[in-house]
Amino acid sequence: MSNPLSNLAASLNPGTPVPVERAILREIDESTKAPALFFLVSGILWLLVGTVFALIASIKLHYPSFLGESEWLTFGNIRTAHLQSVIFGWSTNAAFAVALWLMARLSRMRLRHPGIVLAAACLWNLGVTIGVAGILRGDSTSIEWLEIPTYATPILFVAYALIGVWAIITFRFRQSQHIYVSQWYLIAALFWFPWLYSAAQIMLLFEPARGTVQSLVNWWFAHNVLGLWFTPIGVAAAYYFIPKVLGRPIHSYYLSVLGFWSLALFYNWAGVHHLIGGPVPAWVISAGIVASLMMVIPIVVTGINHHATMRGNWSALKYSPTLRFIVFGALNYSASSLIGSTMAVRSVNEVTHFTHFTVAHAHHGMYAFFTMVMFGSIYFMLPRILHREWPSASLISVHFWACAIGITIYVVGMSIGGVIQGLQMNDAENYPVFLDIVKSMNPWLHTRSVAGAIITVGHIAFAVNFGWMLFKRSPDAAGAPTLFHAPPAMDARSSAS
């Protein structure tokens, strides 16, 4: 019992009283340093790896002989490796870093049990590494979004479960009276994902369900990874950082709570819209379409809140890197989610299904929304964790503009290409030869490779700035702009220790 922060048994005992001591922000940020940095460094390495995979996959679609002699790098392998390394490598690592930093701050307490989190971080990255290597070897399970082979998935599950335990302990010992809306989203995401992941693992890989149930479980899982894991983390970050950076509270707190509970109610049903036209009971699909359209409620509510908070403050985008990325992400959350709901309508789905439009939509949500919000969050977090300023303002600008322009070209190009592709595939009279449709996609596929190259420039700028910041020798003066302004007494204490 010497150190209550490190006593796991006390934390797990429901009888342990909650101490009454509100930590100050500087201490909280400091306490998250080791695990947050571990997640961020590995996340950014995965981002670079995933970007290389993405470029290879994209080039292969319009130049099939590219790296064609290597059996490890066939399109099927490389595309899957790209998906898994950006979803579980980059996005989830970044989500963990942002989530644990936000959880600690919103609970107003120093991070308890950094050991658990570090162990989870090691296991998680070990699992993803084995998984991606396995995919490149050809061991993909061929179930979309769950391609990591079964010899790696239990490691991932254990890692996630550890984070879940940590989140519950953090929530239980929180020093905040009120649960801010971001915390609802974070707790829900950390609580839901292990359920999604384990249920899908068991019903698809270890004890596979038969027939159409398999595809239902598949899309229930695949869509919920986006809606019940990445979306809540991204929205939670936006709900925290937009008011925080502006220094003014969210437009309507009431709406934000409504948004959370309506997401919790509807999202879980929506995944079946991926099976429109498939051999599953019609009522299941109809329920999925209804839920997808009901999602308009949380989307509009969240959109109103994010954008109305910005009203009259748009000039702040010029000054704040965090806000720039996060507002770009929030705008694209509204756009991609509304497009998603529209895509669930049968007549629209007839055109967009099985086309590049779906690919554009996936990147719209995962990149233009989620990844950009994570970038913004990292720009806010890291100076406070390291007590150092970002070394280069121009690299931040390069990062933002390359990523923003690149992903816009990507999404717009692939959406147009996808609609053309869908209309042609539905028009057997004028397009009887499938190869003609494939060929007509060529300009759009080239556009994607160009967009990908632009995004790569942004990622390199980000990685350079990040590495430079980590290894920068001298800490900045206390008055550096994005730093937390410590009262003089605090400084004396921290320099003495």
Give the binding site for other proteins (CB under 8 A).
Answer: 24-26, 106, 176-182, 191-192, 195, 199, 202-203, 207, 209-210, 213, 240, 243-254, 256-257, 261, 264, 308, 312-313, 315-316, 319-323, 379-380, 389-393, 396-397, 480-482, 484-485
Whichever of 59 and 203 has its CB closer to other proteins, that residue is 203
Whichever of 316 and 425 has its CB closer to other proteins, that residue is 316
Whichever of 8 and 25 has its CB closer to other proteins, that residue is 25
Contact 235, 185 (CB under 8 A): yes
The single-letter code of the amino acid at 163 is: I
CA 450, 454, 456: angle at the middle one, nearest 5?
115
The two tokens of residue 171 are 């929530």
How far from the centroid of its chain's Cα atoms is residue 379's Cα? 16
Other C-beta atoms within 10 Å of 60: how many? 20
**Least separation, in Å, of the C-beta of 256 and other proteins?**
8
Whichever of 12 and 25 has its CB closer to other proteins, that residue is 25
**Least separation, in Å, of the C-beta of 413 and other proteins?**
30
Whichever of 177 and 495 has its CB closer to other proteins, that residue is 177
Whichever of 177 and 497 has its CB closer to other proteins, that residue is 177
Helix, strand or coil for residue 317? helix
Contact 329, 373 (CB under 8 A): yes
The two tokens of residue 379 are 């720009």
**Closest among 486, 483, 485 to 384, alpha carbons compared:** 483
Whichever of 432 and 487 has its CB closer to other proteins, that residue is 487
**Least separation, in Å, of the C-beta of 452 and other proteins?**
27
**Least separation, in Å, of the C-beta of 393 and other proteins?**
4
Whichever of 67 and 257 has its CB closer to other proteins, that residue is 257
**Least separation, in Å, of the C-beta of 357 and other proteins?**
31
**Least separation, in Å, of the C-beta of 213 and other proteins?**
8
DSSP 116-157: HHHHHHHHHHHHHHHHHHHHHHT----STT--S-TTTHHHHH
**Least separation, in Å, of the C-beta of 320 and other proteins?**
4
CA quadruple 104, 267, 160, 195: dihedral sign: positive
CA–CA dist 163, 121 (Å, integer): 9
Q: Which helix (H) or strand (E) holds 206?
A: none
Whichever of 439 and 485 has its CB closer to other proteins, that residue is 485
**Least separation, in Å, of the C-beta of 378 and other proteins?**
12
CA–CA dist 416, 442 (Å, integer): 12
Q: Which residues contact 132 (CB under 8 A, 6 or more apart)?
A: 49, 81, 84, 85, 89, 148
The two tokens of residue 432 are 């009887």
Whichever of 21 and 429 has its CB closer to other proteins, that residue is 21
The two tokens of residue 227 are 């809606």
- Using the CB atoms, write b or e for 428-456: b if 16+ within 10 Å: eeeeeeeeebeeebeebbbbbbebbebbb
**Least separation, in Å, of the C-beta of 51 and other proteins?**
25
The single-letter code of the amino acid at 173 is: F
Using alpha carbons, list the distances in angstroms from residue 202 to 130, 145, 427: 20, 14, 41
Whichever of 63 and 261 has its CB closer to other proteins, that residue is 261
How far from the centroid of its chain's Cα atoms is residue 52's Cα? 19
**Least separation, in Å, of the C-beta of 247 and other proteins?**
4
**Least separation, in Å, of the C-beta of 72 and other proteins?**
35
CA–CA dist 258, 488 (Å, integer): 42
